[in-house]
Amino acid sequence: MAEPTSTTAAVVTYAAAGLSVPMLTAFGVPLGLRADVLVAGFFGGLVAIILLNSVPSEGDTWQHLVATTLERMFVAIASSLTAGYLTPLALLMANLPDSLLLSAAFGVGGGAQRVLQILISRLGEAPAVVDGGAK
């Protein structure tokens, strides 16, 4: 019969391994993304699409419905990836504890489309050309 301490240690080891969240990899390259943060960002994106109507439909024909469905799918995926990469940065900038990671990921996923549009419009502006007066 095995000693109780070794059995207890094995149970604790398996329980701790189940609680840890593995990082995702693609083609053997670690992406630095946690699956739980991606899921929270995905659900935040779905809430933005459904409740906030961030991707409104444009028509009743099947072409419009297919185009809207594809756009909504890409917005949900982009919201998930944005939450995966920007939530740790948002937690650091706001000086929030790690216990708020998933709720912050949900919020980032929900606001990802609007925030990215604002950033792209600000960063995409052409710089003003200053005329040096030389003629």
The model's pLDDT over 111-123, given as tens digits with 9 standing for 90+, comes to 988 877 877 888 8
Contact predicate 104/38, CB 8 Å: no
How confident is the model over 27-43, as pLDDT tens digits?
888 888 889 999 999 99
Tokens 């909504």 belong to residue: 72
**Half-sphere exposure for 36 (CA within 13 Å, toward CB):** 11
